[in-house]
Structure 1
């Protein structure tokens, strides 16, 4: 019971998320943070428990970030990239030596990974709304993910829109798709696995 978040903390996180959605609707993919059911589905799809290097694109208020940290191995590293400065400050306050919180744009993914001297990620998880990005930026992010992923690495994107699938197919092939209904709004969870050859 000690690990449960206080009710005030949950309410404050949801309120902050909604406020930032109103201020930056093109950057924030939903009006409230992910449900625990969606978080569980994302972690299973990304096989977090066996990953050494994990990248999260779009950490929001840090709910999924905390879920990743709880599930990942003790020796693993999590690079969390957030473009919104308010969300970044919330994630930066998480006390865990395995977390690297970076304020920046996912378009700079290759440079950001290089900056922190990280190896090829076994898992990349994205909550950034590809539906609001222009095609060039979206393709740039997906190309970077595809080239950086370790062999057999997983890319998992949780999205309201189907747009990420058409962006990914030229780089990562066909997707697996699941739908999590126990989330507001219901969310599609897409998964790609990079070929080992």
Structure 2
């Protein structure tokens, strides 16, 4: 009987053989409630979400639900040499995929819940995060989870930091407004489906 270590290695090899799009599609059909979209975000959406980040002052950048790393290279290309980028995902297949495919000393991926962002940031040597990015499908999360994630996000953000959220459902505003007074909003039409983009500022 093969050991759990050898099974894990084989799973990682299988994940590496998949293209990012194929991996994303496979996980969507496995866990549609948690993945939330059938295809990754467009390059225009990525640029637009990240354009408002003050990259010269980023020491800790956090992402919830990175999936196959659609935003990873774009963030790393902008992040300074002393910055840290921590991605948090509950899906062990996505976590394994990112650990095998994103090779950058500034990047680390944690298998866990975004509700625990404060302890995760502290474990990485920081008191706060400068920006938090999320593509989590808030409207389909279990009751109470979305509210707890947003509350924890506001607490972990530094003053003038922001929660960057891209969604396909406008109901995400209902999660953001109890915790953030200053929220900017735009739509990126060059995405399938069109992406709702929110910048919730801690000011």
In the superposition, the TM-score normalised over structure 2's length comes to 0.86
Q: What residue ranges of structure 1 are gaps of 5+ in the alignment?
A: 1-8
Q: 1:128 aligns with which of 125, 129, 136?
A: 136
Q: 1:84 aligns with which of 73, 88, 91?
A: 91
Residue in 2 aligned with 1:25? 32
> Within 2, Cα distance between the matches of 1:155 and 1:193?
6
1:183 aligned onto 2:188: no
Point out 4+ residue stretches in structure 1 off by more than 6 angstroms.
none
> Within 1, Cα distance between the matches of 2:96 and 2:56?
26
Residue in 2 aligned with 1:4? none
**1:45 is paired with a residue of what secondary structure?**
coil
> Within 1, Cα distance between the matches of 2:64 and 2:53?
13
Give 1:174 deviation, angstroms. Answer: 4.3
- Contact 2:99 2:109 survives alignment (8 Å): yes
Give 1:134 deviation, angstroms. Answer: 3.0
1:54 aligned onto 2:74: no
Q: Which moved more, 1:67-76 or 1:49-58?
A: 49-58
- Contact 2:121 2:129 survives alignment (8 Å): no
Residue in 1 aligned with 2:173? 165
Which structure has the larger Rg? 2
- Contact 1:157 1:189 survives alignment (8 Å): yes
State the superposition RMSD in angstroms: 1.6
Q: 1:35 aligns with which of 42, 51, 55?
A: 42
- Contact 1:57 1:124 survives alignment (8 Å): yes
> Within 2, Cα distance between the matches of 1:53 and 1:91?
18
> Within 1, Cα distance between the matches of 2:55 and 2:99?
21
- Contact 2:68 2:97 survives alignment (8 Å): yes
Which deviations, in whole Å up to 9, do the C-alpha atoms of 1:30-69 show, x marking residues without a partner?
1111111111011113334531110000101012011111
- Contact 1:45 1:156 survives alignment (8 Å): no
Number of residue pairs the alignment of both structures matches: 186
